[in-house]
Structure 1
């Protein structure tokens, strides 16, 4: 008898429909070969179906739990910094809106000034305060009597009416140009009678930071009706040289025949140092030894650097920072890595040190060697952490003066950002608000936009390797040809407007066909802003002790992109010019 027959016989005998008599026993013997009656067939089949269904459901549940458990244990989330540029852009666009750091070779990642709402609110509050102060500073005598003044006499620049006329002119001329005037300085005489140079501080509403910029222009004035003065002509951006500040004296050979350009006196990126031995011993420091992120792309550097700053904040420690950077070949014109770059060339160090607690690595190591006693109670305690797998949470109660993270392993085990992966990602917050672009570079951006009176449109043309890659971008080369650009841009931008073209196209005359329709401006038209007679050159050589600093490709991308960002009407490659997707074929909906 088979096992199924035995099981059926067992269930049949246990059924209350059967009795222990001879007739039923004979029926049971006849049913041993299989169910032969309706009563015998109905109950076992239904019970078997229910049992089989429950077994299947339970098995599926167990398999699902097992699959989820295995996935949770073994799954490692993809690291966007190690993926292709397409995956990088896609992943960042989901978490970092309003893109503005370098994704090779056509866009920048956002810094804190681009999307930090707290900066925007703080800027608005400062605007209101400064504008109120500027209004209160308007001389009362400007509205007074002028009966004693000779209308034929030369304009006196110290006359309160001069500043009143300049303010009225600026309020009207820049009303629709996103410029907020914060404060004015006293007018000074120009080179000719009737000319006055006036300087003021301003902010651009398109920036969410509260950084101020400076302009000084030359005004020609004459007597008007009644007491008012009329402005006859106005110079271009920073044309009032007499109102420019005297340059700071810098070390180096004297050149009496060449006047040093003015510098931005509001930039203060001196390196913070530990004041005394007692202060050093009381401090708590987080020291990241140089790892595999050195000479990697700027994306990876910033992602890792912000991880270190985030851990230092989580541990309530001062971060030990190396100002020396290596610019990856991805951001240089010849494709070679360039070591020895200074962090202050690209980012606002003054804002960084005001936002987080840090010290410079060189001075820190000198103080450590000088004040550390190898033996005895005065010894500076150190906790060496050889692997990123020691989480920040495990170091939360560490009492040592210095937590020294060492990254000696092979790539990618020696990347700084590995510290912030896994469970640490839930507790470490990267302080994006601490990273702003260099004010020295932003001064160049402001000057280029100022020379166009902040009244211009922008065109962003991406070519380079993307236009050569027909497999990923089959239409880009043709869609960004000179003829195709003219055909599309003339339909989107009004004729004879100022048109700034941000592009990675190396051939300067590539856009000559547009010059018949617009006033075309390219970054190379402003080379004097970073030449050896420029304000930028004078300020960067102050950092390097007189050694010239090349204006590299990454700096150009920052300036180019930020000038485009401030334009009014914007025409973009992947939104307006081409049918291709920004990250290659079949990625438009990602």
Structure 2
């Protein structure tokens, strides 16, 4: 505006001396230099903060779901296992992908002590819930390669300078910079200008756990990220460890045997044991595993086993047909690297995904091989457990 005003005045005033014109010219150059310096400042910050292979920049729009996965919701103080949290994280990332926004990733993931034998030990009884949460969590970039994720969905961490800059800017812009949304579907967030033009969409107004936003979608064609997305985005050090173990295993097959928490029973009012997964305990015992996988894995093969079963030697009967391998066989490689069971399972998962034949406990996709035909989804129907064989098979 100042530059236009100068030209406007020059048009209608008397001609000035060459000295006056030169002085005015120098003043204009000075103003332009100052404006150029101010405009370029964010670019200098951007170069420091953003790595070259990240797709986001300060001109992007952002999506924030909160600094804790599944929070708000009933899992704010406690937290679920890695798989459950990944379902929630994948849901949030999927929305960011759909909206074409940079996702603000929580900088830490809560570790459920039930799923972590290395545990959260020696906690002080007088710690606040936030202190307990911080003490029982791990850095997100110790689990995932954020640059690799950013090749599909640009992400920044919620403890980064960029996020603090975005937050300050959105607060200055007020209603023009940020919307706190609840109960708004993704299509409206994308298509309505009242949302789509905003710098920041804040999802923390929703009282639901994250995964609930995706839970009831029956149209599978609307699912943009497969189950395999986050497992394949493991941090580089975990990828490297998996590659080393894979090289040592050679040509191998793999099974994931989930028992532990899934085979628990409870007594009904008549004192009879019931379970949510009636065939799981049976289907994940060695004699039934041998029967189930014989058509997929020939005798003599190396079989890598990942499981939460804690009984020593539980899978030894499988050795009559296969050469068994566990992550514990490679403790010298993993111990200096792995800090918690989430990291350990991510390494095991990479090893299993790269096997010649991989057999899951439950089906994730229709084409998956699985140890049981029980559905993975919790039916909330407590049934009598089944321990006998079906028919004369095996």
| TM-score relative to the length of structure 2 | 0.55
- 1:344 positional shift: 2.6
1:524 equivalent in structure 2: 328
Is 2:65 the partner of 1:288?
A: yes
2:141 equivalent in structure 1: 344
Q: Are residues 271 and 341 of structure 1, via their aligned partners in 2, closer, same or farther at CA, if it must alter by over 3 Å?
A: farther
Aligned length, in residue pairs: 291
2:307 equivalent in structure 1: 503
Indicate conservation of the 8 Å contact 1:385/1:405, yes or no: yes
Is 2:83 the partner of 1:327?
A: no
Indicate conservation of the 8 Å contact 2:146/2:155, yes or no: no
- 1:506 positional shift: 1.6
Aligned residue runs from structure 1 range 29-40, under 5 A? none
Indicate conservation of the 8 Å contact 2:305/2:326, yes or no: yes
- 1:397 positional shift: 0.8
1:384 equivalent in structure 2: 179
Mark the runs of 5 or more structure 1 residues left unpaired by the alignment.
1-269, 538-548
Is 2:375 the partner of 1:563?
A: no
Write the distance in 2 (CA, Å) between the matches of 1:422 and 1:325: 24
Write the distance in 2 (CA, Å) between the matches of 1:567 and 1:297: 24
Indicate conservation of the 8 Å contact 1:420/1:428, yes or no: no
Is 2:145 the partner of 1:356?
A: no
Indicate conservation of the 8 Å contact 2:252/2:303, yes or no: yes
Of 301, 305, 313, the residue aligned with 2:89 is 305
Write the distance in 2 (CA, Å) between the matches of 1:488 and 1:373: 58
Indicate conservation of the 8 Å contact 1:463/1:503, yes or no: yes
Write the distance in 1 (CA, Å) between the matches of 2:296 and 2:149: 40
Write the distance in 2 (CA, Å) between the matches of 1:397 and 1:348: 33
- 1:448 positional shift: 2.0
Write the distance in 1 (CA, Å) between the matches of 2:294 and 2:213: 51
Of 442, 446, 471, the residue aligned with 2:274 is 471
Of 381, 390, 393, the residue aligned with 2:188 is 393
- 1:550 positional shift: 1.0
Of 233, 248, 251, the residue aligned with 1:437 is 233
2:340 equivalent in structure 1: 551
Write the distance in 1 (CA, Å) between the matches of 2:51 and 2:319: 53
Write the distance in 1 (CA, Å) between the matches of 2:221 and 2:288: 50
Write the distance in 2 (CA, Å) between the matches of 1:285 and 1:504: 38
- Report the RMSD for the aligned CA atoms in angstroms: 4.9
Structure showing greater relative contact order (alpha-carbon pairs closer than 8 Å, 6 or more residues apart) = 2
Write the distance in 2 (CA, Å) between the matches of 1:416 and 1:430: 16
| 1:545-580 deviation per Cα after TM superposition (whole angstroms, max 9, x unaligned) | xxxx6131x333333344344444667768999887
Write the distance in 1 (CA, Å) between the matches of 2:170 and 2:285: 65
Indicate conservation of the 8 Å contact 1:351/1:434, yes or no: no
Aligned residue runs from structure 1 range 161-180, under 5 A? none
Indicate conservation of the 8 Å contact 1:307/1:428, yes or no: no
- 1:451 positional shift: 0.8
| TM-score relative to the length of structure 1 | 0.39
| 1:22-81 deviation per Cα after TM superposition (whole angstroms, max 9, x unaligned) | xxxxxxxxxxxxxxxxxxxxxxxxxxxxxxxxxxxxxxxxxxxxxxxxxxxxxxxxxxxx
2:14 equivalent in structure 1: none
- 1:283 positional shift: 4.2
| 1:378-417 deviation per Cα after TM superposition (whole angstroms, max 9, x unaligned) | 98942332523476515631376533425256xxx24345
Write the distance in 2 (CA, Å) between the matches of 1:466 and 1:426: 26
2:164 equivalent in structure 1: 366
Indicate conservation of the 8 Å contact 1:456/1:498, yes or no: yes
Write the distance in 2 (CA, Å) between the matches of 1:298 and 1:529: 23
Pair member with larger Rg: 1
- 1:526 positional shift: 0.9
Indicate conservation of the 8 Å contact 1:355/1:434, yes or no: no
Q: Are residues 345 and 426 of structure 1, via their aligned partners in 2, closer, same or farther at CA, if it must alter by over 3 Å?
A: same
> Structure 1 residues 393-402 or 333-342, which shifts more?
333-342
Write the distance in 1 (CA, Å) between the matches of 2:351 and 2:307: 11
Mark the runs of 5 or more structure 2 residues left unpaired by the alignment.
1-47, 121-132, 266-272, 364-368, 377-381, 387-394
